[in-house]
Amino acid sequence: MSPESLARAVARERRPEAASPGDASRYVNAWVEDEALGDERVRAFVLILRTRGCYWADAKGCSMCGYARDTLGRSATPAELARQLEHALRRYRDEPYVKIYTSGSFLDDREVDPPSREAIVRAFSGRARRLLLETLPEFATGEALSPLREAFGGELEVALGLETTDPVVLGRYVHKNAPPSAYFDAAERLRRLGLRAKAYLLLKPPYLTEGEAIADVERSVREAAPKFDALSVNPVHIQGGTVVEWMFRRGRYRPPWLWSVVEVLRRGAVTRGSSRLVSFPTAGGLPRGPHNCGACDTTVLAAIEEASLAQRFDRLDALDCACRASWRASCRLEAAGVEA
Ligand code: SF4
Ligand SMILES: [Zn+2]
């Protein structure tokens, strides 16, 4: 099967049936996590709203993204979104950093209608100091964002899934719908509006070797740093209903090593300029997430998190385990075209 037809077949299979009103009144998930605002350690409230999800996931979707499974299969009504917000606010304890996700784009009217967007943002105004929302670049416009800037008294941060600055990797391997230049243009618009711009960078899209993946993130950090206030390295974890899962099941994909995360942070520390560089790996240490040998995963993950929060990357140099040599060897063997 060609990568193109595989992506479309996987997209068809993962789409959920249209949800009942009961399901649509419940957000997907909410939790609190450690974060930093500048040098200050804070708690962040993370909320995932249930919406129709990313329109691109219907058509083809990105090779590593299975978020379509958390969506409604139809648009949420304003009343349903209001109920999700109401439920979420019951758990909110005035954490100073709030992150709102939708398994798609918060700024796509088909996912969250403009009055609901304003209501959601306003609910945290005066309580949170920074509010992050995520979107595809085409929706990051002055028209969509200006009302939110008015509605929220604090700092707005908009996250874009740039993934890589290489157009071939982004189009052919990640399967994004727009080139890196669209993300750079959106970041410029955000900064002109006085908002913070954050980019996610993907570590190890399918079809790249471990070494190629490290080089891809290293270059992406260098090229994206001048345009974004924060860069977050997201190592691939295997989500259900994705091309990456299809390959993983057939033994054709291994999630990245945590050593690779360490390596891109060490290298990125030199080229990140004034951007924050962070990584908080999802499913770290698990077989379907970025992992090492099992013995050192907890220690290495803790060091990655601490380096990200403190913006101090020097302590990563001291990490070691016998498996670091295996990681180096597998990078060398892959580069030589030998199955590791
Ligand atoms: S990664 Fe983003 S753009 Fe790609 S399918 Fe998922 S939600 Fe849509
Ligand atoms: Zn180890």
pLDDT tens-digit series, residues 88-101: 999 999 999 999 99
Q: How far is the CA of 332 from the centre of ligand 1 (A)?
A: 32
Cβ(253)–Cβ(244) under 8 Å?
yes
Predicted pLDDT of residue 75:
93
Q: How many CB atoms lie within 10 A of CB 254?
A: 18
What's the pLDDT tens digit per position in 265-289?
999 999 999 999 999 999 999 999 9
Q: What mean pLDDT do residues 181-205 have?
A: 98
pLDDT band at 328 (very low <50, low <70, confident <90, very high): very high
Residue 112 lies in a domain: yes
The larger pLDDT score, comparing residue 189 to residue 14, is at 189
Predicted pLDDT of residue 166:
98
Q: How many folded domains does the chain comprise?
A: 1
What's the pLDDT tens digit per position in 115-158?
999 999 999 999 999 999 999 999 999 999 999 999 999 999 99
Q: How many CB atoms lie within 10 A of CB 50?
A: 23
**E strands in 75-194:** 97-101, 130-134, 155-163
pLDDT over 70 (residue 50): yes
Mean pLDDT across the chain: 94
The whole-angstrom separation of Cα 179 and Cα 169 is 10
Q: In what order do the strands lie in the sheet with 130-134?
A: 29-37, 40-48, 97-101, 130-134, 155-163, 196-203, 230-235, 276-278
pLDDT band at 113 (very low <50, low <70, confident <90, very high): very high
pLDDT over 70 (residue 338): no
Pocket of ligand 1 (CB under 6 A): 54, 56-57, 61-62, 65, 67, 104, 136, 161
Query: In percent, how much of the chain has pLDDT > 70?
Result: 98
Residue 340 lies in a domain: no
Residue 255 lies in a domain: yes
Predicted pLDDT of residue 340:
47
DSSP codes of every residue in 48-98? E---S--HHHHHT--TT--GGGGS-SSPPPHHHHHHHHHHHHHH----SEE
**Which of 54, 107, 243 gets mutated to test ligand 1 (max ligand atoms within 8 A of its CB)?**
54
Atom 8 of ligand 1, nearest CA residue: 54
pLDDT over 90 (residue 14): no
Q: What mean pLDDT do residues 326-338 have?
A: 83
Cβ(131)–Cβ(80) under 8 Å?
no
* Domain at 325, CATH number: 3.20.20.70
Residue 246 lies in a domain: yes
Residue 18 lies in a domain: yes
Cβ(111)–Cβ(148) under 8 Å?
no
**Which of 71, 102, 136 gets mutated to test ligand 1 (max ligand atoms within 8 A of its CB)?**
136
Domain range for 153 = 3-335
Residue 196 lies in a domain: yes
Angle at 223 between CA 180 and CA 36, to 5 degrees: 100
Predicted pLDDT of residue 339:
52
Atom 2 of ligand 1, nearest CA residue: 104
Predicted pLDDT of residue 5:
79
Residue 330 lies in a domain: yes
